[in-house]
Amino acid sequence: MKGAIYAIAASILLGSAVAGSLHDRRHAHEVFHHLRRQDTVAPENVTCGCTTSYSTWYGEATLIPPNTIYATVPVTVSPEAATSSSSSAAYTPPVPISTSTAAAYTPPAPVSTSTAAAYAPPAPTSTAVYYTPSVAEYYQASSSSAAAPPASSSASSSSSSASITSGSQWCMSYSPYLANGKCNLDSASIASDIASIAAKGFSCVRIYSTDCSGLQNVGAAAKVNGLKLVLGIYINDAGISVAAEQVGAITSWAAGDYSDVEMVVVGNEAIFSGFCSASDLANFIASTKSTLQKAGYSGPVTTTEPIDILQIKANAAALCDVVDVVAANIHPYFNPNTVAADAGTFVASTLEELATVCPGNKAVYNLETGWPNGGSPNGVAVPGTSEQEAAITSIQQKAGSKSVFFSFTDDLWKEPGPLGVEQNWGCSQIFGDS
């Protein structure tokens, strides 16, 4: 029975190949029905010899067909059977090929670095209004060449006086959520976390939105520990109009005092996620900057995307005039040709490419980077605790003063994702036990 099913499937594939693309399911479906409508009655007094070719595939489904072994079974149809209108020859399914003779399955080659597979972030599982997005996106490889990170003092914003450096580790990302996805409103536990970030040698902490009292709890703890804030205005599928409420939340919280704010990031991969267009995002950034400046803020305002999104000319044309610094989220793990030990080289070379996106010699920053401590391999990029340490150390040495390390702890409130890595980016332990 299995052989018969695959014989029919082979006919479908053959028909679809004749009709056009194998990926056009509608056409293949029509061809299948067209074949069934063909007149199958043989002319009178004609004997035909038919050969049925079939193959049996074993193993899991794959887009890359394995080597096929064919077997032929002769079928003879007599003239009497062919011309009879009252009966038809009984169909005898071919004998399946023994598994001992089946060709060994060869797995498909690693994903090409020239293709970015879009992955939509999973829906939030918390009661929070906004959430830290998934990082399981496949970025195009920016460069395979080794390059040192841009000197922190060599590039400065044409519209902002910000110069952001801190030796080999600048910033750590932080999300005020519990493992069950609910808001962590325990100011004491948050204060302990932020104190730990400061003790590990960081000079700032990045938050993604204004929900879960993040401005109040994280902001207060940052001030006590001498840390600056990279504030986020998160855009999700609700659109820019809803995100605009967060601008008001920031101005109300700051009350004119922005001395602890190092940068404001409007959107996190909002274009990549399809939440808004580049032109709409540019207008929102300009509006946000105007509102913040009127409220007393004079620091840099930007957005962040995967670099390949920023390298699209139309996107760069829309965004370059309104951002004060150019920022991208750079994740070496999602380049299937990058091993953990080369993560820093990948980040540094990507930052050099990022510096060419906008004119005006604007400063560039890596606003999200790291390596998973668990999950499945992505080509030669293998997750694990030792691999994470090697990758983080490499990034720290070659681009740490321009990077936000992701993230303080594992995000157990997320779904595991297709590679099983979404929850496993906590890396603060690598920077010491404090």
Catalytic residue among 137, 305, 368, 422: 368
Please answer whether residues 378 and 415 qualify as being in contact, where contact means their C-beta atoms are separated by less than 8 angstroms: no
245 is catalytic: no
Radius of gyration of the chain (CA): 29
**Residues 210, 233: Cα–Cα separation, whole Å:** 7
Residue 385 backbone phi and psi in degrees, to 5: -65, -45
Catalytic residue among 137, 262, 269, 422: 269
353 is catalytic: no
**Residues 156, 410: Cα–Cα separation, whole Å:** 34
Q: Which residues pair with 232 in a beta bridge?
A: 265
Count of residues for the chain?
A: 434
- What residues have CB less than 8 Å from 29, skipping those under 6 apart? none
What six digits make up the tokens of 296? Answer: 């007393």
Catalytic machinery residues = 269, 368
